[in-house]
């Protein structure tokens, strides 16, 4: 009797805010070893990663990536173990990282270069390959190191600071001798960012929820202005940061989650780009595969030695993925959002 693979498909596109109705749970059989083609591998997923970029894929509009097709499994990063293999380089029991999607099992053509990677869990927990040592970690590394490139003593600000990307950015900047200020929603997250992650300060955008109050709090936290900003959010936070940027400041634009539901999200003062001679650069980490060796070497070393911390929010079971994802978009998660699948 074959195993059942439960998966979440995207069945409709959001009109404005995404809802659970956009998703559907579907059951399909898992192929047996005998049913595999040469080169195929079956991976049983232990964790699925939920990330803000997925919201963009749900839309049909022009973006950097193809839209997620309807009536197919939602894309997503996964870690798990090989449970059947017809590929000489992968054996049952191997732990692997891949883009298995929102499902319990995936069937992978391991001949496709980069489709799955074996990972070493001797010093690094398996789930970290979806977090600090995975795509979110490398995203933070690229924006901080390649775009912001901060010098010792400079001030770096990061939004969504308690999240998977933001927490990496801040800890990397601290390791480079910067003053690091986070922006996060709520007293608990701000306390965590300062006390656990070691940021110098954190501005609570829920406490300071109008532009004037937020700007005042940001100003207090950045007495010498801001030299580098890692943008995950957009909107009011970006507007305030623009006014605090020092001459020759750098802004790495990784995400603008505040506009993912299609809200108009203008930038109030683009003239500051000229006034402060700013450099603003948007990037997508998947377009810079050349940095993975350097980035994962630094990140893996920091995780293994305990110098890079990342809290995880873990939802239980594939059926919980849509709710957990919608919560992530509203900032309800605390740290890296995962779904435990086995």
Give me the residues that bind a copy of itself (CB under 8 A), please.
62-64, 234, 238, 247, 253-256, 259, 264-271, 273-284, 287
CB of 253 to a copy of itself, least distance (A): 5
CB of 278 to a copy of itself, least distance (A): 5
- Which one, 25 or 284, has the nearer CB to a copy of itself? 284
- Which one, 67 or 186, has the nearer CB to a copy of itself? 67
Which secondary-structure segment (H or E) carries 236? helix 236-244
CB of 117 to a copy of itself, least distance (A): 25
Structure token digits, residue 30: 């898992």
- The phi and psi torsions of 97 (rounded to 5 degrees) equal -110, 135
- Which one, 186 or 225, has the nearer CB to a copy of itself? 225
- The phi and psi torsions of 148 (rounded to 5 degrees) equal -75, -40
- The phi and psi torsions of 116 (rounded to 5 degrees) equal -140, 150
CB of 337 to a copy of itself, least distance (A): 20
Q: What is the DSSP letter of 115?
A: S
d(CA 25, CA 10): 9
- Which one, 158 or 341, has the nearer CB to a copy of itself? 158
Do 249 and 227 touch, CB atoms closer than 8 A?
A: yes
- Which one, 3 or 276, has the nearer CB to a copy of itself? 276
CB of 44 to a copy of itself, least distance (A): 34
Dihedral of the alpha carbons of 48, 50, 56, 58, in degrees to the nearest 10: 50
- Determine the length of the chain: 342
Do 299 and 137 touch, CB atoms closer than 8 A?
A: yes
CB of 34 to a copy of itself, least distance (A): 45
d(CA 270, CA 255): 18
- Which one, 30 or 241, has the nearer CB to a copy of itself? 241
Residue whose token pair is 């300062």? 194
């Amino acid at each position: 009797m074959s195993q059942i693979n439960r998966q979440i498909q995207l069945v409709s596109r959001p009109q404005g805010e995404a809802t659970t109705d956009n998703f559907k749970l579907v059951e399909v059989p898992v192929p047996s070893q005998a049913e595999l083609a040469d080169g195929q591998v079956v991976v049983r997923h232990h964790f699925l990663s939920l990330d803000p970029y997925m919201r963009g894929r749900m839309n049909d509009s022009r973006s950097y990536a193809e839209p997620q097709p309807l009536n197919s499994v939602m894309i997503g990063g996964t870690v798990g173990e090989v449970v059947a293999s017809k590929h000489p380089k992968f054996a049952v029991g191997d732990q692997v990282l891949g883009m298995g999607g929102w499902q319990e099992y995936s069937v992978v053509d391991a001949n496709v270069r980069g489709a799955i990677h074996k990972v070493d869990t001797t010093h690094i927990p398996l789930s970290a390959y979806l977090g600090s040592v995975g795509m979110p970690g490398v995203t933070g590394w690229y924006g901080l190191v390649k775009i912001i490139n901060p010098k010792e003593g400079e001030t770096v600000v990061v939004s969504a600071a308690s999240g998977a990307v933001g927490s990496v950015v801040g800890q990397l900047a601290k390791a480079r001798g910067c003053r690091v200020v986070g922006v996060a929603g709520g007293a608990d997250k701000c306390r965590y960012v300062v006390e656990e992650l070691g940021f110098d300060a954190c501005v609570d955008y829920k406490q300071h929820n109008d532009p004037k109050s937020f700007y005042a709090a940001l100003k207090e936290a950045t007495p010498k202005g801001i030299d580098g900003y890692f943008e995950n959010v957009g909107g009011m936070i970006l507007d305030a940061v623009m006014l605090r940027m020092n001459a020759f400041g750098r802004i790495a634009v990784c995400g603008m989650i505040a506009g993912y539901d299609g809200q108009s999200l203008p930038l109030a003062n683009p003239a500051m780009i000229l006034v402060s001679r700013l450099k603003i650069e948007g990037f997508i980490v998947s377009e810079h595969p050349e940095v993975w060796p350097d980035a994962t070497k630094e990140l893996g070393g920091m995780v293994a030695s305990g110098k890079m911390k990342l809290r995880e929010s873990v939802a239980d079971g594939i059926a919980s993925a849509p709710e957990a994802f919608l919560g992530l978009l509203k900032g309800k998660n605390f740290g890296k959002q995962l779904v435990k699948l086995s």
